[in-house]
Amino acid sequence: MTRRMLALAMALMLAAIPGYAGSCATYDEFPGYTTPWDTDEITYLDAWATSELYEKKYDHSASCAFDGNFSTAWVEGVDGLGEGETVCGQWDVSGEWWLVGVCIANGYQKSTSAFENNAAPDWVTLTVNGESFSAQLGRTWGWQAVGFDEPVNVSGSFTLGFTIDSATGGDRYQDSCVTELLPLLIPTTSEYRGFALGFGAEGGTSDPEMGTDYIEGAEAVRASCETLVTYEDGSYLYSYGWSESDELVWSRVDHCTFTTELDTVAAFQTGDLWLVYNADEGLIALDLATGNEKWFLSAAELDYTAGVCCAVGPGNVIYLGGYYGPDPIAISPEGRILWRADLGDTDIYWLYEIFPTKTGIECSYESIYGSPGVVTFDYDGNLLDLDF
């Protein structure tokens, strides 16, 4: 079964990895995911390849693609670009895991000259436990992440195969190289909602505190988000800003440690703002074009913690609701709280949807009355109708 994979270029460039040659990534570099370098529960066993380039002074064997050493690489050993050649790695795992993607250091990244002089794969097929996935790689220095459309359940042991379908030659050599292949996993106790890594495009700069990457001079016209929910480490929200030509302009990762069965992170687009809600912190308004923060309202000010919903009414006024509260709050586009409604009825709870109308906002609630109901407020926060 072959499925197209989503490849996301990550801004883990040489300067971002201390002691790059011969170093290993850490858990913090792939937030929300576990790699074999992070836990004793995933143990590297063996590697093999259909061919290996032999040089007396250098090791280009299959194991070089899984050793965590950026000064070595697997290099195929046939004539031409190595199309059809395969390298495989095998791991032993304790318990059950979901394999959700692979981080790839493409080409020969020992040095800039080695990277430029040697060939690198363009299209590849990754195989895990009989599942095959096709992916396009960039000739990019640093890490690239390839995410599976669906997670692959692995237990006992698993084998990752990497087959070169096509490649681009180097300035001097036609030998295709792969510096590192690193599986990304999450426990099966986690709720998988799609692959995401919160790193921006090559050429961007980053604010390590906020995790925001952006390309100088470019502007985003839309944004999207993905979430990863783990019951051991809370929830992660990954936001991406896209240009008119669908190029990644900026990205951001937000982490919430609070855990409940309801969503504790969420994001919404309104006008020229991208709103990020984090139950640990509150509501953060980002400039849609650049990903830069414009204003912030703390969780204490909002009095929400989970299951947050959002709508935008006339004048781009933001209406926010959630499980705890639960009544709606009106917020100006500049981040000022305009009013907070108060039903005064604890039997009506969890505002889970807000719908603007001509006369006000219709709010859908759960209640003890046995079925959901709708409460309507006018645009000044006054109660107009209660239908349960």
Tokens 């005064």 sit on residue: 344
| pLDDT band, residue 276 (cuts 50/70/90) | very high
**What's the pLDDT at 222?**
82
pLDDT digits (tens, 9 = 90+) for 228-238: 777 667 888 88
- Measured in degrees and rounded to the nearest 5, phi and psi for residue 157 equal -160, 160
**What's the pLDDT at 139?**
85
2-187 to CATH, choices 3.40.1530.20, 2.60.120.260, 3.30.70.260, 1.20.1730.10: 2.60.120.260
**What's the pLDDT at 217?**
57
DSSP SS3 for 49: strand
pLDDT over 70 at 74, yes or no: yes
**What's the pLDDT at 19?**
26
Tokens of residue 68, six digits: 């965590």
Provide the residue ranges of all domains of the chain, joining segments of one domain with +. Answer: 2-187
- Measured in degrees and rounded to the nearest 5, phi and psi for residue 5 equal -105, 155
Tokens 């990277």 sit on residue: 115
DSSP string covering 253-308, please? EEEE----SS--EEEEEETTEEEEEETTTEEEEEETTT--EEEEEEHHHHT--SS-
Give the residue, 247 or 26, on which the prediction is more confident.
Answer: 247
Give the residue, 115 or 22, on which the prediction is more confident.
Answer: 115
Give the residue, 366 or 176, on which the prediction is more confident.
Answer: 176
Flag whether the pTM goes above 0.85: no
Q: According to the per-residue pLDDT averaged within each range, which of 30-34, 150-154, 275-279 is highest? A: 275-279
pLDDT over 60 at 315, yes or no: yes
| pLDDT band, residue 206 (cuts 50/70/90) | very low
**What's the pLDDT at 370?**
66
pLDDT digits (tens, 9 = 90+) for 331-362: 999 999 999 988 877 777 788 888 888 888 98
The pLDDT mean for the chain works out to: 79
Residue 333's nearest CA partner among 293, 378, 273, 379 is: 273
**What's the pLDDT at 312?**
83
- 42-56, 183-197, 242-256, 344-358 — which is least confidently predicted? 183-197
**What's the pLDDT at 218?**
67
* The Cα angle at residue 354 between residues 348 and 358, in degrees rounded to 5: 120
pLDDT digits (tens, 9 = 90+) for 6-60: 333 333 322 222 222 222 233 334 556 788 887 889 999 999 999 999 998 899 9
Give the residue, 81 or 214, on which the prediction is more confident.
Answer: 81
Tokens of residue 201, six digits: 């495009």
**What's the pLDDT at 30?**
58
pLDDT over 90 at 144, yes or no: no
**What's the pLDDT at 107?**
94
131: left (phi over 0), alpha (psi -120 to 50) or beta: beta
pLDDT over 80 at 129, yes or no: yes
